[in-house]
Amino acid sequence: MKDIFQSTKVKVFLSVLLVLIMLAVFTRNVENNIISTTLNAFTFGLSKVSAAASADSSDNKSIDELKAENEALAQANRELRAKLVDYYNVKEENTRLWSFYGIKKEHEDYALIPAMVLRRDSNDEFGSFTIDKGTASDVNVGDPVIGESGLIGWISEADVYTAKVVTVLSPQTSIGAVDNATGDTGIVTGSAKYADDSCTTFTKLNSENKVEEGDIITSSGASGIYPKGMMLGEVKEIGYDTYDSSYYAVIEPYDDIKEILNVAVVSDFDGQGEILKKESGE
């Protein structure tokens, strides 16, 4: 046993292990550290190639597939439009068809930074991904990330040229939200149970809530972290959590979060950080 620890190989191994543990602590606690920046710069080119390849392959659909998809989208659009006429005003009628330009036109206060998905983490089942914009493009930790139809996540880590996005499917996400039809409020957070189906949950609903299937859930903007009124998805089903004795709704985001390739980061909007400033007494 003593001989093993005197061997040069084991000494090298233990030294490397010690350095790795120190680096793990360092990179975990220091944002924008030189190690992650260097590694990301190194893999940036590789990821650009793979992102370009995936963008090309997404267009390889047959005419039948496109027709079926078009028909499904047209049907969904008809149903949604009918619902919106009944319950919401004209502005909300077109929200599902927003493009980034539409969002920008609608919210002049938004500073949008278009970005492309560079890579997806094969170890993460909550759809987290890396985008090709970082602090050099004014992307910061905590910034909301939107797809064409609404809020899809937030920036968890930002490097100089890349940034990690945690999606609304992740339990790490916590967004104050409101049911536009009934006014019920709650927290949108991910769940391992529903993330497989690309769904998230609208939790902490009170026992007298009137949330129904088909209701549209938007961000409440209460914390000043996310803009008010961003679409989060549509209620798919209602459930009861026996663990904390509260109701929750399963939300299906409009964007296909696990396949999305083009997103935009909202780097600035009216009211951003106001609550936090008030709480800190600034």
Partner 1 sequence: MSDRSNSFFRYLSYVIELLLMFVLGTTPGLMPELFGAKPALLVCAALTVAVFEREIPAMIFGMLAGVLTDLGYSNSIGVFTISLTVICFIVGYAANNLIVAKFLNYLLYAAVAVGILFMLYFLVRFAIPGTEDRWQYFTAHIVSRMAQTFLYSIPFYFINRFIYSSLSPEE
Q: Which residues bind partner 1 (CB under 8 A)?
A: 9, 12-13, 16-17, 20-21, 23-24, 27-28, 33, 35-36, 39-40, 43, 46-47, 49-51, 53-54, 57-58, 117, 119-125, 128-130, 156-157, 159, 164, 171, 191-193, 196, 259, 261
Closer residue to partner 1 (CB): 17 or 82: 17
Closer residue to partner 1 (CB): 54 or 182: 54
Closer residue to partner 1 (CB): 159 or 234: 159
Q: How far is the CB of 56 from partner 1 (least distance, A)?
A: 11
Q: How far is the CB of 49 from partner 1 (least distance, A)?
A: 7
Q: How far is the CB of 150 from partner 1 (least distance, A)?
A: 20
Q: SS3 sequence, 55-67?
A: HHHCCCCCHHHHH
Which residue from 145, 123, 130, 114 is spatially nearest to 46, judged by alpha carbons? Answer: 130
Tell me the C-alpha distance between 261 and 136, whole Å: 21
Residues in the chain: 282
Mode of pairing for the β-strands spanning 246-252 and 231-241: antiparallel
Closer residue to partner 1 (CB): 159 or 215: 159
Tell me the C-alpha distance between 253 and 177, whole Å: 13
Return the ∠ at Cα 99 (arms to 96 and 101), rounded to 5°. 135
Q: How far is the CB of 94 from partner 1 (least distance, A)?
A: 28
Q: How far is the CB of 218 from partner 1 (least distance, A)?
A: 24
Neighbours of 72 (CB within 10 A): 10
Q: How far is the CB of 170 from partner 1 (least distance, A)?
A: 10
Closer residue to partner 1 (CB): 159 or 184: 159
Tell me the C-alpha distance between 171 and 31, whole Å: 22
Closer residue to partner 1 (CB): 119 or 204: 119
* Two structure tokens written together for 176: 């104050």
Which residue from 173, 259, 280 is spatially nearest to 219, judged by alpha carbons? Answer: 173
